[in-house]
C-alpha cells in the first residue's frame, strides 16, 4: 500500500477519533449547565459532528499522511485549549476574544490557571492521543449510512438551536472561530432617529434645562469608572457600599437611575463618550481612528481649556490609542508614564494616578480652565487590591468589592486635593461607569463583555457641581453614555455639534438607550421607558423584560407582546446596519464597522493617502 493509500485509509480513523474527542470536550464544558433531555439536545453537538465530517472530507482529499496527522493534532490541541476557556467564560474563543487576550490581560489569564482547569484541558488531549493509538490496528470505514446518520444529526441539531436556549454552548471551538470571522451585520444606509421610541413616548417632567449654560467657565473632571455596575453600589441601593466617597459626592448631584453603556467594553465606550457617536458591530477600534469625530476634548481645547487624560491602565490595550490620539488632549499618560507602587500587567495603583493628576493641575496657571479625564482600572478583573479590604469572603465578588473600595479611596484623595486647592466649587464633575460587571446573575454571565443584561450595561451616572447643584435629584428616564459630550457642552453653554448622536441629558424628552456586544454571540439591545429588549443575532431569539417591576430580568415577556418585539427588532437591526454603513463610508450620522476585509480595505486606503 503506497503513502496515498495509507493516508486515505487512515482518514476515517482520524475523523472518528476527532469526533469522539470533540464530544468528550463538549461533555466536560456542559457539566452543570442543565442540558435538556430530548431530541433537541442534539443542538449541543451538531457543530462537532459537522466539523468531524468536514475534517474527514479534507483529510481524505489531501491523501497526505503527515498533513492529516498534523491537522488532527492542531485541531485536538485547539479544542483542548477551549475547554477551560468555555468553562470560565461560557463561550469558546472568538476572534474578538483572541484579540483581547494580550499582554495587558496576563494577570487575568493567569488567575484561571488552576488545577481544575488544567485537568479540563488535559481530558481532550488524552482522548485525542489515546484513541488513535488504541484503534491503530483496527480498520474504521465511513460509508453512506454513517454519512447519512451524521447528516441527520447535524440537521436536527441545527434546527434545535431555535428551540433550546444553549447560550452559545452548542458551538464547537472551530465553529465559534468561523462564525466570528465573517460579518454578522450587513451595512445598509439609514438616517432615522434611532433613539426615538416606535411607541408614543410619555411626557417627562424631569427637565433640567434651568441648568443649561449655568456652569459656564467651570473646570470639567470626567471620571469613567472601570467595570462598575450600578447595582453593586450603595448609591443605587446595594446593601453594602464599596464606594463611600463616590456616594458622598453624589449627595448633591443629579443621579440618573437608568443609565446605560453603549457596549460592555471600555474602548468603544470611550469612543462613544468623547465623540458622541456609536461604534459599530464587529468593527475593531483601530477603524474608529478614521471616523469623523467632534471630540469633547477638542471642542474644550478650542474653547481655551487645558486638556488631559490619565489612565491607570495601558493605552496599548484593544486599540485605545486609535480612539484618543489626535482628539484634542494636550497630555495623555498611562501606566507606563505614571509608574506606581503597584504595577500589574493591566496597570498601576489608583493613588499613584491621582498624585500624577494633581501634579498636572498644580502645573497650570491659576487662570487656566482645565478638562481632566480620569480612567481608573480599579474594578477590572482579576480584582486585585493592594491591602485587602473590608469585604470578607473568598471568591471573585468580595475581591471585586474590595477593588472598588480601594479605587474609591483614591477618588476621595482626588476630591480632597481639589477641595484643598479651592477648585471644587469651580469644577463640574461627570461620573459614570464604562460598563457593568456580572457575577452569574444570569446563567453563564461573568465579567462584562459577553451579554447585555443590566449587570453588563447598566451603569452609575451622575452630575455634580459643588456650590451650584444642592441636594440630590433622581432622574428615571433612560440615559446613555453617548449623551455625555452634548450634556457637558450644554452645561457649559457651548454649542453642540450636529454630528452628535447623543443628546443633552438636560432635555426632558425621553430617549431609548441602545447597546450591543459582538465578543461572542451577537446581541443587540435597547431600553425604552420600562421595557428592555434583547435580540440574539445568531439564533434570532428575542427577550423582553419590564425592568421597572422585574429589575433582575427574570421574566421574559416576548411571547406576550409580539408586536412590540417585532418593532424593537426591526429598529435595532436597521440601527446596526446603518452604523456599519457610516463607518465603512467614514462619514454619515452613525459610526460603523465592517468585516475583516473592510478593515484591510480601510487600512490600504489610509496607506495610499499617506
Q: Per-residue pLDDT tens for 334-351?
A: 998 998 877 666 788 999
Contact 361, 330 (CB under 8 A): no
More confident residue, 389 or 234: 234
User: What tens digit of pLDDT does each residue of 455-498 get?
Assistant: 999 999 999 999 999 999 999 999 999 999 999 999 999 988 98
More confident residue, 386 or 442: 442
Q: Where are the alpha helices (DSSP H) in 139-255?
A: 144-160, 173-179, 244-249
Contact 230, 437 (CB under 8 A): no
For the chain, percent of residues with pLDDT exceeding 70? 92
Q: State phi, psi for 431 to the nearest 5 degrees.
A: -125, 130
User: What tens digit of pLDDT does each residue of 279-301 get?
Assistant: 999 888 888 888 889 999 999 99
pLDDT of residue 101: 66
Domain ranges of the chain: 3-179, 215-609
Span 71-78, average pLDDT: 94
Q: 523-528 and 531-536 as β-strands: parallel, antiparallel, unpaired?
A: antiparallel
User: What tens digit of pLDDT does each residue of 256-283 get?
Assistant: 999 999 999 899 999 999 999 999 998 8
Q: Is 560 helix (H, G, I), strand (E, B) or coil?
A: coil
- β-strand partners of 333: 310
Span 390-407, average pLDDT: 92
What are the CA-CA distances from residue 229 to residues 192, 433, 437, 459, 461 (Å)? 30, 7, 6, 5, 10
Lowest mean pLDDT segment, chosen from 53-67, 254-268, 366-380, 512-526: 53-67
Predicted confidence band of residue 40 (pLDDT cuts 50, 70, 90): confident
Count other C-beta atoms under 10 Å from residue 493's C-beta.
12
pLDDT of residue 287: 85
pTM of the model: 0.89
Count other C-beta atoms under 10 Å from residue 236's C-beta.
17
Question: In the 3-class helix/strand/coil scheme, how is 413-457 assigned residue by residue?
Answer: HHHHHHHHCCCHHHEEEEEEECCCCEECCCCCCEECCCCCCHHHH
Span 573-599, average pLDDT: 64
Count CA within 13 A, CB hemisphere, residue 591: 32
Rounded to the nearest integer, the mean pLDDT of the chain is 88
Q: Where are the alpha helices (DSSP H) in 2-45?
A: 3-30
pLDDT of residue 586: 65
Contact 525, 515 (CB under 8 A): yes
For the chain, percent of residues with pLDDT exceeding 90? 59
Closest CA to 351 of 419, 415, 410: 410
Lowest mean pLDDT segment, chosen from 25-34, 207-216, 230-239: 25-34
DSSP string, 479-527: EEGGGHHHHHHHHHT----TT-SS--TTS-----EEEEE-SSS-EEEEE
pLDDT of residue 388: 77
Span 195-220, average pLDDT: 86
pLDDT at residue 601 greater than cutoff 50: no
Predicted confidence band of residue 5 (pLDDT cuts 50, 70, 90): very low
User: What tens digit of pLDDT does each residue of 173-193 get?
Assistant: 999 998 888 888 988 988 888
Structural class in CATH, domain 215-609: alpha beta
More confident residue, 219 or 162: 219
Lowest mean pLDDT segment, chosen from 108-112, 197-201, 470-474, 582-586: 108-112
pLDDT at residue 6 greater than cutoff 60: no
pLDDT of residue 105: 61
Residues 6+ apart with CB under 8 A from 240: 234, 391, 401
Q: At what angle do helices 65-89 and 3-30 cross, to 10 degrees?
A: 10
More confident residue, 417 or 162: 417
Predicted confidence band of residue 41 (pLDDT cuts 50, 70, 90): confident
Expressed in percent and rounded to 5, the helix, strand and coil fractions of the chain are 45, 10, 40
Answer left, alpha or beta for residue 175, where phi above 0 means left and psi between -120 and 50 means alpha: alpha
pLDDT at residue 597 greater than cutoff 60: no
Predicted confidence band of residue 602 (pLDDT cuts 50, 70, 90): very low
Amino acid at each position: 500500500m503506497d503513502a496515498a493509500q495509507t493516508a486515505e485509509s487512515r482518514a476515517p480513523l482520524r475523523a472518528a477519533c476527532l469526533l469522539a474527542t470533540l464530544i468528550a470536550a463538549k461533555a466536560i464544558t456542559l457539566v452543570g449547565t442543565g442540558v435538556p433531555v430530548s431530541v433537541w439536545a442534539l443542538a449541543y453537538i451538531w457543530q462537532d459532528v459537522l466539523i468531524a465530517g468536514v475534517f474527514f472530507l479534507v483529510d481524505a482529499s489531501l491523501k497526505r499522511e503527515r498533513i492529516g496527522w498534523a491537522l488532527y493534532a492542531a485541531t485536538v490541541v485547539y479544542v483542548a485549549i477551549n475547554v477551560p476557556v468555555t468553562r470560565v467564560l461560557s463561550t469558546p474563543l472568538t476572534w474578538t476574544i483572541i484579540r483581547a487576550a494580550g499582554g495587558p490581560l496576563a494577570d487575568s489569564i493567569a488567575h484561571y490557571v488552576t488545577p481544575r482547569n488544567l485537568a479540563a484541558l488535559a481530558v481532550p488531549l488524552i482522548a485525542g492521543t489515546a484513541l488513535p493509538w488504541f484503534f491503530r490496528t483496527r480498520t474504521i470505514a465511513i460509508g453512506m449510512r454513517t454519512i447519512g446518520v451524521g447528516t441527520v444529526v447535524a440537521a436536527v441539531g441545527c434546527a434545535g438551536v431555535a428551540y433550546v436556549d444553549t447560550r452559545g454552548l452548542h458551538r464547537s471551538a472551530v465553529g465559534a472561530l468561523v462564525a466570528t470571522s465573517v460579518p454578522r451585520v450587513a451595512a445598509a444606509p439609514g438616517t432615522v432617529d434611532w433613539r426615538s421610541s416606535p411607541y408614543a413616548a410619555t411626557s417627562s417632567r424631569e427637565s433640567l434645562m434651568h441648568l443649561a449654560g449655568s456652569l459656564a467657565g467651570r473646570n470639567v473632571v470626567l471620571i469613567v469608572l472601570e467595570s462598575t455596575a450600578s447595582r453593586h453600589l450603595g448609591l443605587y441601593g446595594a446593601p453594602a457600599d464599596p464606594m463611600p466617597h463616590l456616594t458622598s459626592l453624589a449627595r448633591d448631584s443629579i443621579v440618573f437611575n437608568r443609565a446605560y453603556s453603549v457596549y460592555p467594553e471600555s474602548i468603544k465606550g470611550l469612543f462613544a463618550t468623547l465623540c458622541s457617536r456609536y461604534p459599530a458591530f464587529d468593527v475593531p477600534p483601530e477603524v474608529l481612528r478614521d471616523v469623523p469625530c467632534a471630540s469633547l476634548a477638542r471642542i474644550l481645547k478650542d474653547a481655551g481649556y487645558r486638556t488631559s487624560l490619565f489612565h491607570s491602565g495601558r493605552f496599548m490595550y484593544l486599540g485605545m490609542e486609535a480612539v484618543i490620539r489626535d482628539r484634542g488632549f494636550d497630555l495623555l499618560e498611562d501606566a507606563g508614564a505614571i509608574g506606581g507602587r503597584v504595577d500589574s500587567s493591566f496597570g498601576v495603583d489608583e493613588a499613584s494616578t491621582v498624585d500624577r493628576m494633581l501634579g498636572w493641575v498644580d502645573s497650570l496657571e491659576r487662570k487656566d480652565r482645565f478638562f481632566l479625564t480620569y480612567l481608573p482600572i480599579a474594578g477590572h478583573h482579576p480584582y486585585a487590591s493592594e491591602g485587602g479590604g473590608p469585604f470578607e469572603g473568598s471568591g471573585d465578588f468580595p475581591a471585586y468589592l474590595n477593588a472598588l473600595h480601594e479605587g474609591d479611596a483614591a477618588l476621595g484623595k482626588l476630591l480632597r486635593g481639589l477641595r484643598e486647592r479651592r477648585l471644587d466649587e469651580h469644577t463640574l464633575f461627570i461620573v459614570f461607569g464604562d460598563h457593568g460587571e456580572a457575577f452569574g446573575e444570569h446563567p453563564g454571565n461573568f465579567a462584562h463583555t459577553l451579554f447585555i443584561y443590566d449587570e453588563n450595561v447598566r451603569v452609575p451616572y451622575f452630575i455634580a457641581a459643588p456650590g451650584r447643584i444642592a441636594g440630590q435629584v433622581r432622574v428615571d428616564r433612560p440615559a446613555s453614555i453617548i449623551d455625555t459630550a452634548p450634556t457637558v457642552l450644554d452645561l457649559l453653554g457651548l454649542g453642540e455639534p450636529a454630528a452628535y448622536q447623543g443628546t443633552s441629558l438636560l432635555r426632558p424628552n425621553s430617549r431609548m438607550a441602545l447597546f450591543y456586544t459582538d465578543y461572542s454571540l451577537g446581541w443587540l439591545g435597547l431600553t425604552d421607558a420600562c421595557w428592555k429588549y434583547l435580540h440574539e443575532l445568531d439564533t434570532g431569539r428575542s427577550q423582553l423584560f419590564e425592568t421597572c417591576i422585574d429589575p433582575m430580568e427574570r421574566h421574559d415577556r416576548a411571547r406576550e407582546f409580539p408586536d412590540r418585539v417585532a418593532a424593537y427588532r426591526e429598529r435595532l437591526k436597521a440601527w446596526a446596519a446603518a452604523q456599519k454603513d457610516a463607518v465603512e463610508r467614514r462619514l454619515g450620522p452613525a459610526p460603523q464597522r465592517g468585516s475583516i476585509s473592510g478593515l484591510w480595505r480601510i487600512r490600504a486606503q489610509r496607506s495610499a493617502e499617506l
